[in-house]
Amino acid sequence: MKVFVSTDMEGTAGVVDWEQCAGDGPQAAAGRRLLLAEVNAAIEGAIEGGATQIVVNDSHSKMRNLPPDELAGQASYISGSHKPLYMMQGLDGSFGACLFVSYHGSVGAPAGLSHTYNPRAVVEARLDGRVTGEAGINALVAAHYGVPVVLVTGDDCACAEAAELIPGIHAAVVKRHVSRVAADSLHPVLARQLIRDRTRAAVAAAAAASPPPLDPGVLELTVRHADIAEAASWIRGVDRTGPRELRIHGASRLDTYQSFCAAILLTRSVAEIV
C-alpha cells in the first residue's frame, strides 16, 4: 500500500515560536530536527501497519525542511516552494492512505501558532459551513481522489478540527495549547512513540476507511480586507459574496482546492499592504 504524508511543522511537540519554524538560525535548526523525528516516527508506524511505499510532501514554509537522506523507510521526498497542489502535491488515486503530520489549529483558534495558509490574508475558513483549518481544506484533494485521510498529528485543536470533518480519523495529540505562543508538549520521545503507535493502527485499518465525506465541498473565506477579496474574485471559481467574503466551489473538489491555492498565491502581495 502506498501512503502519502503531508507534513507541516507548527504541530510538532516542543515547537511554540515562529523562530523555531523559519529561517536558518539555531532555533529553526532545532525545530527541524524535532520535526524530522516525528515524520520518521510516522513513516516507521506506517510501515509497521502495512505500507510498502511512502511519499513525503514537505508542506511547511519554503518546503525544504527535511534532509532527504535522513528520512526513514527510503521514503521519497517532494520539496520546493512552488507546487501546483501545494500541501497535497503528489497525491493521486494510487494511494491507500493519507497522513497529516505536525498540523496546527486554524486561524482564530485558541491554538499554538494558529493560522490558515496565509495569516495576513485569511481571517476564517469554513468548509460546508463548518470552521476549518488546513487539514479540512487539504482533505478536499483526498476526497477528490478517493483516498482516506486516516491520521492527523499535532496540537489538540488541529486534531479536534480534523475529526469534525473527517469522522473516524486517528489522532496523535502531542501538545495542548496554553496560548498562541505557549504549549504543554509531551516529551519528544513520548510524542514520537505516540505518533508511531497511532500511525500503525491507522494504516493497518486504512482498507476499511472511507475518503473524507466533503460533499458538496464548498469553501467560504473571510479575508482581512476588501482589496484581498477583490483580487481573489478574479480567479475562476471564486465568487465575492460580501466586502470581505468569498465563496469557492469548483466543478470538482480538486478544482475548489486549486482555486483556493490560486487565491492565496495571487493575493499574497495585496495582503502585505498595510
DSSP conformation letters of 74-86 = G-EEE--S--TTG
Q: How far is CA 172 from CA 75, 169, 195, 196, 260, in A?
A: 21, 10, 6, 9, 28
Q: Does residue 64 sit in helix, strand or coil?
A: coil
Domains and CATH numbers, the chain: 2-115+134-208 (3.40.50.10780)
Report pLDDT for 274: 56
Q: What is the CA radius of gyration of the chain?
A: 17
| 44: three-class secondary structure by DSSP | helix
Residue with more model confidence, 165 or 273: 165
- Which residues, in sequence order, are bridge partners of residue 273? none
CA-wise closest residue to 149 among 229, 198, 212, 237: 212
Q: What is the mean pLDDT of residues 59-70?
A: 96
Specify whether the CB–CB gap between 101 and 6 falls below 8 A: yes
Half-sphere exposure of 154 (CA within 13 A, CB side): 30
At 125-158, the pLDDT tens digits run 999 999 999 999 999 999 999 999 999 999 999 9
**pLDDT (tens digit per residue) in 203-230:** 999 999 999 999 999 999 999 999 999 9
* Given 60, 82, 104, 115, the catalytic residue: 115
What does pTM read for this prediction?
0.97
Does residue 256 contact residue 249 with C-beta atoms inside 8 Å? Answer: yes
Active site includes 115?
A: yes
pLDDT at 273: 74
